[in-house]
Each structure stands twice: as structure tokens, then as C-alpha cells.
Chains A and B, each alone.
Chain A
């Protein structure tokens, strides 16, 4: 695809804004405009570049960690739109809204353009040389123990390079923190299946029983799951799949369930055991363990009507294979691991393991496998910081000051570190605390490889390549920065690499064989790899080891009434804003939340019944107070939530980041109590209890939904039919 002798990047040179001026209607003039506009031609152009005809390049979406392959539409040197790459098993040419907005991250007007050095309370622009020198200076005479590197999920060659860099001064303190990573479930899976992230074959299941796993919205790899879901609905041998969602607050997945069951917060595990009991197929110690969980008791504790439990059990027994998923809602409690374990046990009992739960193909390069982690890591870093253990702190691809639970006071502790370096795209909350801020290339300007944590179908390594020239001269790719830094310490090993591109190319070509390059010569293989955007590996698919057991399975009774803080706070994960790192992309701010259609703001979901008790109506500004703190936001009456719980979406409430995010809504992270899962030490997201009080103010909620609300009136607008009334077999 790239003809030799022509530099990969040259053709990306912008043909000139005039070359493809965007057409304006009406207000522009309406007559011939001879000799007014300039047309700038290429100086040199390869034959395949034709003005007004778009070129497509494959790369990888960096909006979340799912690792969807994207296909960027480039015209006159500008990337215009991101489309899915059909060749990828993960997203098969499909995209989510979040991914689409990647271009707005790239073109964002609030991106950092220059390295900034803190002087007092303001930042002064400095050169990269100075910045590197400064880092080198700060690192001299500092032992590896005193250096901490905090990062979001990293994988691929970047991770390897980072590893080498940290090794170069014997630093073991690489903390990986993804605020919304399913850490507890990983641990539970490790126990039950022997792998942290097995493959869920939703498409092969006839029934999916999901305990708060929002796999259509924001859970692990939503685009992939959505596709599986579509097949699942079309049905295995003609029988349409049935989705049952058990959760205290309706997620997007819950909204698409055949049966949505509001359960008392935290009792998911109990219900799971109850169902095992109702199934009556369990034997041995499992049977013994669940004996106590008869329908009556379970129903009493979970608030799920007994008839419902029997129905579910009956259906699970009748239709096999099924699939039981443990999601965020189940894991978010002090006994989260217990819940997850119980749920995995149910899978085991139903005999789904090996059928709908399989071992995922693994990438045979451990050093490239994604580094995962969550609050446990952050906590230990936080403790270290509190103890003044670290002289230098690096932070990359994560925003702990914004996402850390308010109770652990991360902002204050971070100040205790001697010298804080932030690699950032925006001047976000964390960057604001740093002493040195280094601006990064956007994902559409940068080179890299990415290994998705959730492998869809055979192992794959995703290639990330620039879709256009750098927008800002003084931003750098993380790879280039690391390379520059590591050269400071191990110059001779790395001096042969001019830049990260060179490093990457060499690294990939070294494993040409393993990457299925075969006998192709380097250039051909490299160019093919780039044009494909994916390296498919003959992944080794191990059988699942491990076995879910009842050993150590102990579920606490549901929490009893708390007089002072009567309500459970459920920080919900908004499908497009997630943990808030993308909140500065206007498309995401303006695309309504699917269930409430609210835009540009936060809100508190509360069940109409509860609201009536508290005298709250839509638009009331309420104060939500936890033991840690309190926030004020607008109330929205939402039937899809358990009356004992309220819910506030995450991702809003930025104090920094940019013009679109700043000042929109509130940040529930700030009022989360420091309650941690007993086994894994991860934050128990749903364990914060709150009280709600009216402030007296009232606003009109900004949403797409009209005064008619979500009700159909008169004519049939959105039709619904039940399975016994329709014949799906004949459908195309």
C-alpha cells in the first residue's frame, strides 16, 4: 500500500484548508466567486491521493480499553470520521458513540500544546529538552523505591518499554489504576475459571442471567457484546435468547431485558444461591451450602417475589446452555467477591463453563499483555504518598484526583510527593496538581500497539498509527517520550532507535514469525500489518482450569436499615462518559443518556415512590450527603431503580479538563466512602450510604424527553409484541 521511497508520513501533509474548504450555505455568498479563494495543491503526491476522494487507514480506538479497530476516513490530510474496521473480531466494523467521538478528542481545542512547568500557581511553557533535562535531574540520586509510576491500563510495546524504563532504575512501583475496571470479577474469575477474563459466548446462550453486568453499555467490551447480543436475540437454532437482568439500578442492558428485576442492593449473591437451591440440581457440598437458601428466605432478603425466582430457575433448567454474568452492581460491595463467587458458582452448577464460558486465547507475549488494576493499587500508592515515601511521581493516562474516592484524600497526599510529572492530553485535575506537565499526541497522531484485555476470537494485537499529521508541533507520543527518557539511562541499548516508530517497527519485525509474517520480507510485512491494522495471532486457547467451589463462600445478611443514611448510593456508569476522561467531547455531552435523555449535566435518579415520600419532584435541587461529603444535583424521577437506592452518573463534575466538561454537573467520586472489598481490597463502589435533602431550589431538567414523558399516547409509535404472538422463524 505504501509505495517504496515515499515517506509514510509525507502524504499526510495537509493539502491546505483552502483545498477542501467546507461549504457554507446561505449566509455565504450565492454567486460565482472567481479568484477569491486560493487552491493549494500538493508539492508531491503519490498517485493514489486524489483530492475529494477519501483514503482510509486502519488504527485502534483509544477512547476505552476494549480495543476496537477503527478505520479512519482521511481527506486532504484531515481525518474526518472514524468507522469500524470489519476485519477486527472485536467490533467487526461497528462503533459505539464513544468511539465515534475520538475525532473530537483529536481536534479538541483544549488539548495541551506545550510542556508546562509549574512556577508557583501558574505554569510556564518550556522546551522538551529542558523538560527531559529536568526529569533526569530530579531522578539523579533517587532510589527506585522512591519513584512511583501511576498509569491507566497500558499494554503492547508501550508497556514493555515502560517496564524496561522502570527497571533501568530498579523501580518496582508501577501502579495501574483504571477507575472502572472490573477488578473484583477478575479475581473471582481467576478462582472459578483459572483466568481473569474468560470469553463469554452470549451468542451461544439461550438464556442470559446478568447480575448488573451492563454488557451493552459500558462493561468490558460493549461493542463486541452488542454484536453477540444481536445474534443471541436472533436465537440459537431458531429459539430467541432470553435476557434476565438483576440489578438495583436499571442499566442500558437492563432496559433491554425481557425481565428486569430490581433487587435489594447487595443481595445478588443470595439470589444466586437461592436459584441454585431452586434448581435442585446441585449435589454434594454445593447442595449443602445452598440448602439454607430456600425461596421464602431468599425472597424476603432480596425483595424478589418467590414466583419470580422459581420462574427463573425453571427457565434456566429448561433452556441450556445459559450464561450467568456478574457485573459492576454485584461486585461493588464489601462482600463483592462473595457475590461474584456465588454467581460463578451458579454458572458452574448450570454447566455453562466450557460452553458459554470459555478460556480466551492469550497473547503469547506476557510482557505485552495488558496491565490491569484498580483502586487497590491506587490505595497502596496513596498510602505510600501519605507516608511521604515517594520523591518522584509519574502519572499517565489516568486522572486519580478526579476519580479517587473522596475519602482517601488523594489530592492532598499527592502533594506530598517531591516532584510530580503528568503526561496528559488536557490540563485535567491531576495535571493541575503536577509540577511538570508533558503534552501527549492524540491517539490519531501516534504510533503504538495495543493488546485488548478481552479477546474476542483468537488473540490479536492492534496497531495504532497516525491518521494525519500532528495537529500541534510540540506534542509527543508517549512512546517517544519514554524512549527519550530511557535513553538518558541506557543510551547505548536504545540509541539505535531514532524514534518510537523505529523502535516499534524493529520490535514487530523481530517477531515476524510469531506474527504470521512467514517468509515475507520486512517492508512488505510491515506495510501489510499497517494496512490491516491488526496482527492476528495463532493464539493458544487453554481449557479452563480451576473450579468454582463453596469453600470460603460466606454471604452476609442484607444490610439492615441505617437511620442516619437511609439510602444506598449507586454511582452509575454512563455509556458515553464512563469515568470522565472523555467528558470534554461535546458530542458525548450532547448525546442524551439513553434512559433519562438528560444532557450536559448530572442528575440523581430516585424511584417515584421514594420521591413521593420525600416530597421530591423532578428538577428539585437535592443535597446528597454521605459520611464523606455531599454534592448538590437535580432530581429525576426514574422508575427503574430500587426504592432503597439512588443513583448519580459518573464522569461529570469536572473542575478542569476543558471548556465542554468544566462546570457540568457533579462528581460522585468525591462522596464515595472508603469501603473496600474484603478479599481483593478494591473499592466497594456501591457501599456508600447517603441521605437526600431538598435545598428548595428547582430547575427544569435539560433533556430530550418532552412533557409527555416516556409514555406512548394515542397512535402506536414504538411497537412491542410477546414471543407467543410472533413468528420469528420466517424473518430475513
Chain B
């Protein structure tokens, strides 16, 4: 491995997925979230805290915007609420939106990291390697969704984050992050790897339903579905198909149709071309009432 070696294999050094010589195979993990089913109950968020050893930063740090929720539930009122021509009450309720790392196919965070601590895996995930991270925070600066979270303090040694006994709940499969590293949603990669190991040893691939992310598992309304986008059997695959959302497009052909579409699948900030791996389904509201 020399400099000339590096130059020869430049295309290998970093390539956007999928490319012809490196298609996603056999996995491309993807998600779809039905905003009509999501009731904004926060179960997914808490499940994430439990599964991924997220520190509870406490009121003061939360106030400083240092919260570590990999999965945050945003809520939106109707645009016109309280304005001219709008009602003074949110009479169609609120819109909830679970927002976590979108595992972009062309992730803005990946290209800018000076040390290559965040990379694209063959499964189409956007990996974050804590022990490689030097904490330049360029990735977060360039993330359109702002879903990366930085360890501003050394939480493992901070009072009342994991005091005695509480630390016994920490999940041994997930690294506990020390100060100065960036972190983000991993699609519960520890679960994915475990499932893949079992599958490998049995000489097959991971079947639909064999692996769940913590948020998906908890979601009381099953609004989140997660799986292998390549596997035609997977619910995710079927949903993306039905909604005519294609992974490697920044403009979906269905949107160019006259008079729009009667499908509700969409990806956030698609026009910035990060090619997110998460599809959202628009919330539906009854027109007759």
C-alpha cells in the first residue's frame, strides 16, 4: 500500500453507492415511515435511548441544544395557524415527524470528514466510526437534516448520566461514546450485524422480519417499517415500489406527471440530492369533515 497504489485504486478509495462494480448486494437497508400512522408518542425515541446507550444530558445541557436524541419527534402546526385566513385553533391536529439519520446514499457528511470516520457501507448505510473521529464536526456542519450529535462532554464520567446501577443497563453491543466524537442513528447496526452473522452461518441472507430496529420494534402503531430494499419480499421494498419512489433519483418521475400524483411517498430535501434511504408517507386528513 503505497502512494502509487493509492493513486491506482483511487476509484476504490471512495465511491458513491451504488455503482456498477459495487451494487448493493445482497443488502440495502432502508426505512419507510407512515406519518398517518405515527401518533408522535415518543416510544421510538425512548427505545433508541435504551438500545444505543444514549446519554441523558439533563436540563441545563438540553437548554444549550446539546440533546443526544438520535431520533427526535418534530411536530408542526398547519402553516396558516393563527395567521390571516387561517383558523386560530389547530383544528386538524398537529403533524408529527420522526427525524433520524437518513442514511443518505450520497451523504454530504461523508465527503467532508477529514479522517474518513464516516463512510458508506456495502449495505448502503452511512457508518460512523467513533474511534476514528477527531471531532472536527464538519460532517454535522454539512448535514442538511442536522441529525448528527456531538459529545460535547464526557458523558460516561458525567454525574447522573450513568450513575452506579444505571450503568448496568448499558448495551454491551454498542460502544459508549466518550467526549469529542460525533454520533448518529445507525439503523441499529449491532442488530443488523447479529442477524447477518446468523444468516451467514446458515448460508442464507437475512429474511424479512428477522431483524428490526429498536424504534420499529417499539412503535405502537407500526408506523415504521424497516428492511432490505433489494429483497422483493420485504415490506419496505413493496412500499417503495407502490409509492414509486426510487432510491437513485433526485426527482421522482411520478411528481412530474400532470396534476401531481395520488401517492403519498416522498423523501425530505430530495432536491439537495443526498438520496436519503428513508421514505416518508404523507399524513392523511379527512376532507369530508
Contact = CB atoms under 8 A, between A and B. Distances in A.
- Name the prevailing secondary structure of the A interface residues: loop
Contact of B39 (A75, A107, A252, A705): A252
A222 B221 CA distance: 11
B172 A95 contact: no
B221 A26 contact: no
A109 B181 contact: no
A726 interface: yes
B268 A715 contact: yes
B36 A233 contact: yes
Interface in A592-615: 592, 594-595, 597, 599-601, 607-609
B169 A104 contact: yes
B76 A24 contact: no
A704 B40 CA distance: 14
A23 B173 CA distance: 8
B15 interface: no
B285 A722 contact: yes
B96 interface: yes
Interface in B31-64: 35-37, 39-43, 45-47, 49-51, 53, 56-59, 62-63
A137 B220 CA distance: 49
B47 A95 contact: yes
A234 B42 CA distance: 21
A586 interface: yes
Contact of A109 (B63, B165, B179): B165
A471 B168 CA distance: 10
A341 B94 CA distance: 30
Interface in B205-236: 214, 217-223, 235
B273 interface: no
A571 B280 CA distance: 34
> Looking at B37, B97, B219, B289, which has the most chain A CB atoms within 10 Å of its CB?
B289
Given A103-B169, A109-B165, A26 B289 contact: no
B172 A52 contact: yes
A33 to B, nearest CB: 14
Nearest to A597: B75
A719 B266 contact: yes
Nearest to A224: B220
B223 A259 contact: no
Interface stretch (B4-12, B81-89, B107-115): B81-89
B81 to A, nearest CB: 6
A83 B168 contact: no
A638 to B, nearest CB: 9
A109 B59 contact: no
B19 interface: no
Contact of B92 (A94, A260, A723, A732): A260
Contact of B62 (A20, A109, A230, A599): A599
Interface residues of A, number: 111
B25 interface: no
Contacts of A591: 42, 45-46, 49, 69
Nearest to B240: A732
A589 B56 contact: yes
Interface stretch (B118-126, B156-164, B246-254): B156-164
Interface string A53-89: 0000000000000000000000110111111100000
A256 B181 contact: no
A233 B81 CA distance: 25
A595 B47 contact: no
A517 B103 CA distance: 49
A82 B45 CA distance: 14
A22 B167 contact: yes
B16 interface: no
Interface in A227-248: 227, 229-230, 233, 240, 242, 244-245
23 contacts: A22-B171, A24-B175, A25-B178, A27-B154, A52-B172, A78-B169, A80-B50, A80-B170, A97-B41, A97-B45, A100-B46, A109-B165, A111-B165, A255-B75, A255-B93, A256-B39, A257-B92, A315-B289, A590-B56, A594-B73, A718-B96, A718-B280, A731-B242
Which 8 pairs of residues, A with B, have the shortest CB-CB distance? Answer: A27-B178, A719-B282, A226-B220, A97-B46, A600-B59, A25-B130, A258-B286, A230-B221
Given A84-B218, A97-B47, A639-B77, 12 more contacts: A23-B175, A26-B178, A82-B50, A95-B220, A229-B221, A257-B92, A259-B286, A608-B82, A640-B89, A704-B74, A722-B285, A723-B288
